[in-house]
Amino acid sequence: MGLSLSALAERKTLWPWLLLAPLTIYLALFFLVPLVEVALMSVTEPRPGLANYEKVLTGSLYRKVFLNTFGTALLVTLCCLLVGYPLAYLMSTVSKRAAMGILLLITMSFWTSFLVRTYAWMVLLGNNGPVVWLMQTLGIAEPPPLLFTRFSSTLAMVHILAPYMIMNIYTVMQKIDPSLIRSAESMGAYGKSLFRHIYLPLTAPGIANGSVLVFVICLGFYVTPVLLGSPREQMAAGLIGNQIEQFLAFGLGSAMSIVLLVVTLVILGIYHRRFGLDKLYG
Amino acid sequence: MNTLMRWIGIAVVIFIAAPLVIVVPMSFSTAASLQFPPPGYSWGYYQQFFSDPSWLRPAWNSIYIATMNTLLTMALVVPATFALVRHKFWGKSFANLMMMMPMAVPHIVMAVGYYSYFGELKLVHSKLGVILAHTCLSVPITFLVLSANLKGFDLTLERAARSLGATPGQVFRHITLPILKPGLAISALFAFIQSFDETVVAIFISGRDAETLPRKMFDSIREEADPVIAVISTLLFAVVFAGLIAPSLIKGLRRMAKGTPSK
């Protein structure tokens, strides 16, 4: 209390930044510098200029890969919604104990590594796996190839990302006041109209959160599409990886990285403006 | 509408559970390739995992890297979180955004950056390089978990201790730290898992010398789908399961010890 007012004011802004300093310096050195390096490489490798961007933004291969990436991310988001919404609904209507059971399952799935879940889908959809066996039993003599197709990678990504969607929707559904539903019913809203006018608008924030999260993660997904997808239908992250590891085309890989980064940041930026980024993962 | 949604919901439960259930019997299989149902059961692949250095080394590397990552992350994030939760200052919203940024950048983009940057610093193929990279990626989640805990902290407890004559150091040691311990433990756990599971950056920079478990698994799945992966999957799965179940088991045990029936 012996401090004068001006000294107190000074301490107020200095002290927090002192606490933040180590982390700020660390992130500048090991997060910002590598990112800047990617940006630099995209305009200097192999020679200075915008040739890499020209290629990435107009070349037919790149256009195909980016379109495929967006298409897949959109499809995965939609599937996660179609899968997640009913499950969140089921959880909010069953008994508390059953809801806890489902929650445990989803949490477990969430905490199980991407790789483990990708591997599990390889087993499930493999030539000697249960799905093919079931199809043969049902009389399909020559089941279509399931593994290493767009189907298998999409399915696995939906499975891996669905927990994000489910948790976001479930969180808002839990908060819906049951008396609101009852009063709507008492005024004659049933079935479809109850869902469209009451349930859907009330759960919209959860849908928005979950969709943004799933879409953005899917845009940059590397592991699952590379392991389970068709080599002919690559996604952006897979092609970036190829360019760095196989072709040592750092300029092209960096330019693609920057495009991917800008798209991701624009989507998250719009979201941040409207809702605040910290809410997305909270 | 309601019944339809519920049936879809039940189908989704099966969809989510199936891949988690399938790897367990696979790990005890005697088949040399991915075959389900397995032709026979044995401990063969467990023995193989626990005696094969090409699997054990990456496992130890991962544990070491994740531990170091956790220590470094906590040392950096704890003070920063105190600053952000407890103080109002110029540039605060910028600092908040800064903490979240590593989460917004796709890992493949960071992998490209680290590949070239750490190449210049001679940190590629080293554990130190992976630790330094993972620490950046662990910052956002650790910060989110810790700040949620710190926001719920009752400041009057600290004020009471101060008014009773405790020095700021004593307040921190005897009041703040003990109350915050569970929150610190959970955020440290998140940092550990973030590093232990991280695959993409590790694939690009860990090399043969600092090979992490996810990198080894990725290579192995890509090349031959070695059934040993089912063993690792089952083991990791058991750890997750134990981690989720343990808190409620402990709670139940405590209740039983106290003589009150657990519900």
The span from the CA of A84 to the CA of B11, in Å, is 11
Q: Which one-letter amino acid corresponds to residue B190?
A: F
Burial class (CB in 10 A: 0-12, 13-18, 19+), A160: buried
Distance from CA of B1 to the nearest CA of A (A): 6
Q: How large a percentage of chain A has pLDDT more than 70?
A: 93
Q: What integer pLDDT is reported at residue A277 of this predicted model? A: 65
Residues of B in contact with A92 (CB under 8 A): none
Q: What integer pLDDT is reported at residue A163 of this predicted model? A: 95
What does the block give as tokens for B150? Answer: 């710190």
Q: What integer pLDDT is reported at residue A7 of this predicted model? A: 57
Beta-carbon separation of B100 and A278 below 8 A: yes
pLDDT category, A61, cuts 50, 70, 90?
very high
Q: What integer pLDDT is reported at residue B4 of this predicted model? A: 85
Q: A95 — contact with chain B (CB < 8 Å)?
A: no
Q: Reply yes or no on whether the pLDDT at A90 is more than 50.
A: yes
- Reported as a single tens digit per residue, the pLDDT across A211-242 is 999 999 999 999 999 999 988 889 999 999 99
Residues, chain A: 282
Distance from CA of A72 to the nearest CA of B (A): 16
Q: What integer pLDDT is reported at residue A144 of this predicted model? A: 84
Beta-carbon separation of A17 and B89 below 8 A: yes
For residues A143-165, give the mean pLDDT.
93
Q: What integer pLDDT is reported at residue A153 of this predicted model? A: 94
Residues of B in contact with A264 (CB under 8 A): 104-106
What does the block give as tokens for B133? Answer: 């990279």
The span from the CA of A39 to the CA of A35, in Å, is 6
Closest CA in chain B for residue A45: B116
Beta-carbon separation of A122 and B12 below 8 A: no
Best A3, A10, A12, A19 member to test B by mutation, with max B CBs in 10 Å, is: A19
Q: A198 — contact with chain B (CB < 8 Å)?
A: no
Distance from CA of A146 to the nearest CA of B (A): 14
Model confidence, pTM: 0.90
Beta-carbon separation of A123 and B83 below 8 A: no
Q: What integer pLDDT is reported at residue A64 of this predicted model? A: 93
The span from the CA of A157 to the CA of A79, in Å, is 10
* Residue A71 · residue A153 · CB < 8 Å: no
**Residues in chain B where the model's pLDDT stays below 50:** 261-263
Q: What integer pLDDT is reported at residue B41 of this predicted model? A: 87
Q: What integer pLDDT is reported at residue A281 of this predicted model? A: 57
Burial class (CB in 10 A: 0-12, 13-18, 19+), A16: buried
Q: What integer pLDDT is reported at residue A1 of this predicted model? A: 43
Best A112, A116, A157, A260 member to test B by mutation, with max B CBs in 10 Å, is: A116
Q: Reply yes or no on whether the pLDDT at A186 is more than 90.
A: no
Write out the DSSP string of chain B: -HHHHHHHHHHHHHHHHHHHHHHHHHHTB--SS--SS-S-B-SHHHHHHHH-HHHHHHHHHHHHHHHHHHHHHHHHHHHHHHHHHH---TTHHHHHHHHHHHHHS-HHHHHHHHHHHHHHTT-TTSHHHHHHHHHHHHHHHHHHHHHHHHHT--HHHHHHHHHTT--HHHHIIIIIHHHHHHHHHHHHHHHHHHHHH--HHHHHH-TTTS--HHHHHHHHHHHT--THHHHHHHHHHHHHHHHHHHHHHHHHHHHHHHTPPP-
Of B34, B116, B193, which has the smallest distance from its Cβ to A128's Cβ? Answer: B34
Of A105, A220, A281, which has the smallest distance from its Cβ to B16's Cβ? Answer: A105
- Reported as a single tens digit per residue, the pLDDT across A9-55 is 556 678 888 999 999 999 999 999 999 999 999 999 888 999 999 99
**Architecture, CATH, for domain B55-221:** Orthogonal Bundle (1.10)
Domain ranges of chain A: 1-44, 59-281
First to last CA, chain A: 37
Residues of B in contact with A227 (CB under 8 A): 218, 221-222
Beta-carbon separation of A20 and B80 below 8 A: yes
- Neighbouring C-beta atoms of residue A230, cutoff 10 Å: 15
Taking every pair of Cα atoms in chain B, the longest distance, rounded to a whole number of angstroms, is 72
Distance from CA of B114 to the nearest CA of A (A): 6
Residues of B in contact with A33 (CB under 8 A): 117
Instruction: Please tell me the CATH code under which domain A59-281 is placed.
Output: 1.10.3720.10
For residues A144-167, give the mean pLDDT.
93
Domain ranges of chain B: 55-221
Q: What integer pLDDT is reported at residue A219 of this predicted model? A: 96
Across A154-158, A278-282, B6-10, which has the greatest mean pLDDT? A154-158
Q: What integer pLDDT is reported at residue B263 of this predicted model? A: 42
Residues of B in contact with A102 (CB under 8 A): 13
Beta-carbon separation of A116 and B79 below 8 A: no
Beta-carbon separation of A87 and B9 below 8 A: yes
Helix ranges (H only) for chain A are 5-27, 33-44, 51-58, 60-93, 96-111, 114-125, 130-137, 150-174, 178-186, 191-194, 200-219, 223-228, 236-245, 250-274, 277-281
* Cβ partners under 8 Å of residue A211, min gap 6: A77, A80, A81, A165
Q: What integer pLDDT is reported at residue B82 of this predicted model? A: 94
Q: What integer pLDDT is reported at residue A20 of this predicted model? A: 94
- Residue A282 in 3-state DSSP? coil
| pLDDT top residue among A266 and B2 | A266
What does the block give as tokens for A266? Answer: 């624009």
Q: What integer pLDDT is reported at residue B253 of this predicted model? A: 75
Q: What integer pLDDT is reported at residue A6 of this predicted model? A: 55
Q: Reply yes or no on whether the pLDDT at A147 is more than 60.
A: yes
Interface size A-B, in CB pairs within 8 Å, comes to 264
Of B76, B106, B112, which has the smallest distance from its Cβ to A244's Cβ? Answer: B112
Q: Reply yes or no on whether the pLDDT at A62 is more than 60.
A: yes
Write out the DSSP string of A19-75: HHHHHHHHHIIIIIHHHHHHHHHHHHSSSSSSHHHHHHHH-HHHHHHHHHHHHHHHH
Distance from CA of A142 to the nearest CA of B (A): 18
| ipTM for the whole complex | 0.90
